[in-house]
Amino acid sequence: MALPRERDTWVTLLPRQSVGLWVYRTQIASVDGETFEPGDIVSVRDHRGRFVGKGFINPASMIQVRLLTRRQEDAIDEKFIRERVQRAWEYRQEVLSETESCRVIFGEADGLPGLIVDKFGDVLVMQNLALGMERWQEVLLEALEDLLRPEGIYARHDVPVREKEGLPLWKGFLTHPFPTRFLIRENGVPLWVDVERGHKTGHFLDQRENRAALKPFVRGKRVLDVFCHTGGFGLHAAHYGASEVTAVDISEEALELAKESARAGGVEHSIRFYREDAFTFLRQAVREGERYDVVILDPPAFAKSKRSLDGAYRGYKEINLQAMKLLRPGGFLVTCSCSSPVTFDMFDVMLLDAAADARRTLRLVERRGQARDHPVILDHPESQYLKCYILQ
């Protein structure tokens, strides 16, 4: 695939359009100038002709232009891309206490739209979600290898959103083959990761700091971890001294990995895993009069878009309502949402709604977000997606 070219092409916006880092098809008045190929670099201006930024264009996508820079003098070339990769890695080295396993590149938040790169020990996993960035793949691979010297790089280009960019779905090695299933340590807790078959890039690094935040609340406590997936929260609770952990998920494959992690950490006797639908488990536990000191809810995204918000609200309210009923007086609820369209304000309203029905009063201990290697860009609200509340 040829490298993108910077074209003398101008995308003009309709009046009264505020632009973050994405320019949608519905915001565009006209596209004029030099002929371009999808993924090439074009300039964006407002309806008065004022320069807005440069980015790569893809007429097949609803997001027509993804901005790379707001500086007209910037040349978007191989040097520019390499510098962005280097700056992303330098940021992680500055803000993280350890970089053994972390997100190296977080798309728009690192000035590389649509690109995800995760580091698991000596292995990197790349996920390209945008055509423009896909055309820079060879340059990106060279930059990552020069900077991080990984044992290997694996592609998880199997995300359905790629089809909206006109890109094929596939996964496989971008370098020589290597074992895709291995043990990492997160906050000192051993966790098995499968970058070939696991969800997304193989492990949810964005919850790393929230899992560490469990420590003061779980020692000697009875803990329930619902939607546990590969056991991240529940395994942390067990390592932090919980007397008993119950972990629930619908995926047998995820639970098998969680069980291996429990054995690797020597906590298999203090954590029990159940393969069951989370909603069913919670309702049944309430009916049976179960009580826990700590309940953790970390569900998958219930809302992929604004159109699904009503159903997502009902789903979040239901699981939080049942969790509140399961908590002993003074117990702690750790509840999360990774749905970008669900805002913090909306999550607040949902929690109050559930608390009213459960006849509980909530005390906010902490309102948290994603780990700092998943930074938020203030004029790109899509970069702020994870919510994690600790409530009593």
Active-site residue set:
338
- C-alpha to C-alpha distance for 244 and 283, rounded to whole angstroms: 20
State the sign of the Cα–Cα–Cα–Cα dihedral 295, 281, 321, 329.
negative
Q: How far is CA 143 from CA 137, 148, 176, in A?
A: 10, 8, 17
How far apart, in Å, do the first and last CA atoms of the chain sit? 54
Q: Could you tell me if 231 and 273 are in contact, meaning their C-beta atoms sit under 8 angstroms apart?
A: yes
Euclidean distance between CA atoms 233 and 239, whole angstroms: 10
Residues 178 and 123: their CA atoms lie apart, in Å, by 9
- Which residue is listed with tokens 């290597």? 178
User: If residue 318 lies in a helix (H) or strand (E), which one and from where to where?
Assistant: helix 309-326
* Beta-carbon count within 10 A of 121 CB: 14
Each as own residue / partner, the long-range contacts of residues 206-209 (CB below 8 Å, 24 or more positions apart, any chain) are 206/103, 206/338, 206/370, 206/371, 206/374, 206/386, 207/232, 207/233, 207/298, 207/336, 207/370, 207/371, 207/386, 207/388, 208/101, 208/102, 208/371, 209/368, 209/371, 209/372
Q: How far is CA 58 from CA 1, 45, 122, 270, 382, in A?
A: 15, 17, 34, 52, 19
Q: Which of 296, 376, 390 is nearest to 340 (CA)?
A: 376
CB atoms within 10 A of CB 45: 17
CA 303 – CA 341 distance, rounded (Å): 7
- Nearest Cα to 188, choosing from 254, 244, 240? 240
Phi, psi at 266, each rounded to 5°: 70, 25
Eight-class DSSP state of 19: -
Residues of the chain by 3-state class (helix, strand, coil), percent to 5: 35, 30, 35
Biggest CA–CA distance in the chain, Å, is 69
